Structure 1
């Protein structure tokens, strides 16, 4: 049995909110009036109500529901480039647009990304100040590919101030924005106030089906709605995504503190094992990267044996490095279904 199959056959997992099956959709619609009218090509009460709600939650001038964050963020950077007349945009080397989108920003919009900082650490204020003339700077909170690191909030404030002084638009890749709030001890509005535009996801920490919000000033969003139509983002009905986004947002927005504390405790226990460590050593959100010494075959065998013995899924994939392997743990509701005895057995098995 391979590692992925072993993980899929476990009854509990350390990451996420449980298995993403049709039940996720059914739960969200369980109490919805079947006569409720659908949205229609981007209009209608169901979409307008949710957009207004998120506009207020984020403290922005307007908000638009998109079927995907990839679509939303490419459009955001294009709008800022057009407004400033500058084809250069800046972001971290491990930004989603750089490593997961098949050069969509370059091929579709002919924008020129400038990579800022080292791929092994967060960008710094000094690096931002050294930027050449760019239309927009994108900052991801938290930096997922690094393990969920966050810059100090005071540094974010300095970066925001600098960008406004230079006329650089500041865009937030806030796919996991709500997960950052316990560490920062800020509201979503307080974080978003530092940025000109904001994207948030509703299928990651929130655990919905799919979809995203892009928020910003009214004029920016007016233009984004035109681009959404150009991209084919105005499906005849987006309600299968919007209703679960709203349902799971309300269900989980106040659980982020719990996920954060559980992630710190899991990381502490993993770091106590020989040949195992996490980044960050102490998580700053509900996620961290887990590293285990050994080649991919040996580590996969070790994890698979633990999963098979305990019924608790650690991971279904590994990324090999020089002498060790890595994976990601992102805490949600699922870990709360594991009792203390089961969790103790997991770490006892891992140590063997």
Structure 2
């Protein structure tokens, strides 16, 4: 009950803020329905029937994704968890190996309750435990055989980190030397292009298959897509059916995804460009306010998301965030919450620089960070 009350209090405080840097949260039902109605007017004919088991708007979305990624075909999935299982299970049959090499911080290992092993019967191995994707020599010298190398771009739980283009191409080449296929977990691939300095299709072309999300970065309702050769997509669709992913109708998710590709995808480079100044201003503002050891990771963000670390208890930081929103009507963290992922008293929050953040100058961020430090003093 106390947790629900705190959540409601935080939501009300953030709703009352004139400006929110990160973590405003999803729109309410009324706003979400208005967006969906607008998308329907833009992407569907007035009397067009709703999709039926993946035709219509869903097929249109699949064509658009294949075009953007430069893949032969694409398939819509209700979740990324299902999309990746279908891809990796299909590759296991083709390679004759049920072993997937990935990072221990990869999404399937941390956030999916062991689904690759429990549901799909796959085994995972870790070429590295360093907080980055595996280096070429780690792939080349790894002691166990594997059929598929899965690379998460960016590696979210390590801090939304990306390799350089040369590092990425070398790692992929090392996997090819071992006759392994390469799959990209590209839930957030949409915002990687500025870091690599390459278009999406050139990035995706390095891999044999690519998964992308529609609700991460693109503000879609839900859903994901798998891009790959047509033969693999055909098999992945069979696994989608077996896994229970062939839904009767999915037009709301498809409409919101099409709108995200049109509206949000072109804006992502501006968000990525603004992330560096925001990260710098946060460090400076907290230091000016007297907070000890403010850290941003990566120091220069690779995408429009990054980690912020402060050496204070999470409860104290979250209370200060709430107090700032209620009293100043300005919020750095919105509904986002600090947590202590390692040492007690060392807290981290994930920051997202999106449309709301573009309204903030570096001076705005520094001032708000210094003000947050004052709100923290009584709680810390």
Same fold (TM over 0.5): yes
- Give SS of 2:347's match: strand
1:335 corresponds to: 357
User: C-alpha displacement at 1:266, in angstroms?
Assistant: 1.3
- Per-residue CA deviation, residues 64-114 of structure 1 (Å, 9 max, x unaligned), is 011110100011111111111111111101111011111111111211111
2:76 corresponds to: 65
Residues 1:324 and 2:346 are matched in the alignment:
yes
1:24 corresponds to: 32
Q: What is the rounded CA distance, in whole Å, between the counterparts of 1:39 and 1:62 in structure 2?
A: 19
- Given that 1:17 and 1:207 are in contact with CA atoms closer than 8 Å, whether structure 2 keeps it comes out as no
Q: Which of the numbers 71, 93, 109 marks the counterpart of 2:104?
A: 93
User: C-alpha displacement at 1:285, in angstroms?
Assistant: 0.4
- Per-residue CA deviation, residues 147-172 of structure 1 (Å, 9 max, x unaligned), is 11100111111122222232101000
- Given that 1:310 and 1:342 are in contact with CA atoms closer than 8 Å, whether structure 2 keeps it comes out as no
Worse overlay, 133-142 or 12-21:
12-21
- Give SS of 1:271's match: helix
1:286 corresponds to: 304
Q: How many residues align?
A: 351
Residues 1:14 and 2:25 are matched in the alignment:
no
Residues 1:122 and 2:133 are matched in the alignment:
yes
RMSD: 2.1
- Per-residue CA deviation, residues 269-308 of structure 1 (Å, 9 max, x unaligned), is 1122232211011101000001111122332333333232
Q: What is the rounded CA distance, in whole Å, between the counterparts of 2:315 and 2:64 in structure 1?
A: 48
- Given that 1:318 and 1:326 are in contact with CA atoms closer than 8 Å, whether structure 2 keeps it comes out as yes
- Per-residue CA deviation, residues 98-137 of structure 1 (Å, 9 max, x unaligned), is 1111111111121111123125343222211123211101
Q: 1:301 to 1:346 in 2, by over 3 A?
A: same
1:309 corresponds to: 327
Q: What is the rounded CA distance, in whole Å, between the counterparts of 1:297 and 1:251 in structure 2?
A: 37
1:187 corresponds to: 199
User: C-alpha displacement at 1:345, in angstroms?
Assistant: 4.1
Under a length normalisation based on structure 1, what TM-score does the superposition of the two structures give? 0.93
Unmatched segments (≥5 aa) in structure 1: none
User: C-alpha displacement at 1:338, in angstroms?
Assistant: 5.0
Q: What is the rounded CA distance, in whole Å, between the counterparts of 1:16 and 1:295 in structure 2?
A: 20
Higher relative contact order (CA 8 A, sep 6+): 1
Q: What is the rounded CA distance, in whole Å, between the counterparts of 1:17 and 1:207 in structure 2?
A: 12
Q: What is the rounded CA distance, in whole Å, between the counterparts of 1:141 and 1:262 in structure 2?
A: 20
Q: Which of the numbers 167, 174, 189 marks the counterpart of 2:186?
A: 174
Q: What is the rounded CA distance, in whole Å, between the counterparts of 1:241 and 1:95 in structure 2?
A: 25
User: C-alpha displacement at 1:181, in angstroms?
Assistant: 0.8
Unmatched segments (≥5 aa) in structure 2: 375-380
User: C-alpha displacement at 1:261, in angstroms?
Assistant: 1.9
Q: 1:148 to 1:62 in 2, by over 3 A?
A: same
- Give SS of 2:133's match: coil
Q: What is the rounded CA distance, in whole Å, between the counterparts of 1:4 and 1:313 in structure 2?
A: 17
User: C-alpha displacement at 1:337, in angstroms?
Assistant: 4.6
Residues 1:111 and 2:122 are matched in the alignment:
yes
Q: What is the rounded CA distance, in whole Å, between the counterparts of 2:36 and 2:355 in structure 1?
A: 15
Q: What is the rounded CA distance, in whole Å, between the counterparts of 2:161 and 2:315 in structure 1?
A: 28
- Give SS of 1:26's match: helix
Within-5 A mapping of 1:229-240: 229-240=241-252
User: C-alpha displacement at 1:237, in angstroms?
Assistant: 0.7
